Structure 1
């Protein structure tokens, strides 16, 4: 028989809210994600979350210790989205698997840019993150790197991916007119600089508009080419 405190907790979790919804950890995360996506970090308070759920705010504390705990759980959910459907064995080699893994993490972050900006530099300590680190380090060990080097290379790899994700997520959060102005600067202000003063920029002026787009794939390819060259296997 389950201990009395466990039974009580389970009964509390099954109790419907005022709106008739039965709370769960995932349902709370859904509501928190919606608040963040729509209103930003200021909206992620336990009080506002309780209102969105139609529940007393104290009910949220049965699942999460507070806004910080929720944020880490949301960051872990993004990692889970990146891992969903990812199978290293579907790729020809470890580097191709790492590239796919990195791009999945980047795209998951951009689906929820507000969460990415707030959580990409944190350590969630949760199952999806643990599985991601296990997967990435495992691929690098498969490449023949010793244990210390595999960890060091994974650190560089994941920081490259998350750094680009946070940067591009911040760009997506800019007002549309600011974003358009920054993009036009490469084809207007920079491309029209005088050749006498800026000979190199003048020489590459036709290619400068590409600076407005994401650079994550190119950065990953450069990093993976360096890792391939060093791989013992």
Structure 2
């Protein structure tokens, strides 16, 4: 009677879409977007680089899947029960998007270059547009407000993550800005340098978000 065969040594690691995306996000957090290559991802998963193309025909397809996973849970973000102020609900959802992007190194860079159509991305967009439509905004205004809020959030977070790379304590160009302003005649910039070089990005974000919300109040029909 023959012995049961033992598992073959050197058997390729199990590969699936979910594990691939999660490993890519782990590598992103570890080394940043510039260091994330299909070859490095394949090495981390113990497979040949060509095996990844079974699920992702291009790196852009992979980044789109990563962006979709990053915003998981954002669609369900909901502020505390209160007076039902639509602008506070919009603000809560917008802050949730920023938080999701900040949760991953270079998260905004990944998200900015993708156009995911998965349930996480579409669910967030539908929730935000739904709040606006329920508040009385027309369809066109609600759609444009979505673009404005998302573009502001992604753009702000891009700058935030670029300024504060891991280990930095101040914006990378703060010293250069100080020197340039001091060397020239820029009295207005000199007066506002404490804010211009501040790393309180939450305050910067809230100021811009408030401007957008005030503008939406003005155009609400």
Is the 8 Å Cα contact of residues 32 and 106 (structure 2) preserved in structure 1? yes
Compare the two structures and name the one with the higher helix fraction.
1
Paired residue secondary structure (2:90)? helix
Alignment-derived partner of residue 46 in structure 2: 54
Deviation of residue 224 (structure 1)?
0.4
For this pair of structures, how many residues does the alignment match? 209
Residue 157 in structure 1 maps to residue 142 in structure 2? no
Q: Alignment partner for residue 70 of structure 2, among 72, 78, 83?
A: 78
CA pair 154-193 structure 1, distance change in 2 beyond 3 A: same
TM-score when normalising by structure 2: 0.78
Q: TM-score, normalised by structure 1?
A: 0.75
Aligned to 1:101: 93
- CA RMSD after TM alignment: 3.1
Task: Mark the CA change 1:62 to 1:185 in structure 2 (over 3 Å): closer, same or farther.
Answer: closer
Give the structure 1 partner of residue 129 of structure 2. 137
Structure 1 position 93, deviation (Å): 1.9
Q: Is the 8 A contact 1:88 1:94 kept in 2?
A: no
Shift of 1:115: 3.4
Change in Cα spacing, 1:59 to 1:76, as seen in structure 2 (3 Å) is same
Give the direction of change, closer, same or farther, for the CA distance of 1:65–1:101 in structure 2 (3 Å limit): same
State the partner residue of 1:210.
195
Of residues 43-52 and 157-166 in structure 1, the stretch that sits farther from structure 2 once superposed is: 43-52
Go from structure 1 to structure 2 and tell me whether the alpha carbon gap of 1:100 and 1:190 turns closer, same or farther (over 3 Å shift): farther
- Give 3-state SS (helix, strand or coil) of 1:62's partner: coil
Match of 2:218 in 1: 229
Unaligned 5+ segments in structure 1 are 1-15
Pair 23,17 (structure 1): closer, same or farther in 2 beyond 3 Å: farther
CA distance in 1, matches of 2:56, 2:108: 20
Pair 161,18 (structure 1): closer, same or farther in 2 beyond 3 Å: farther
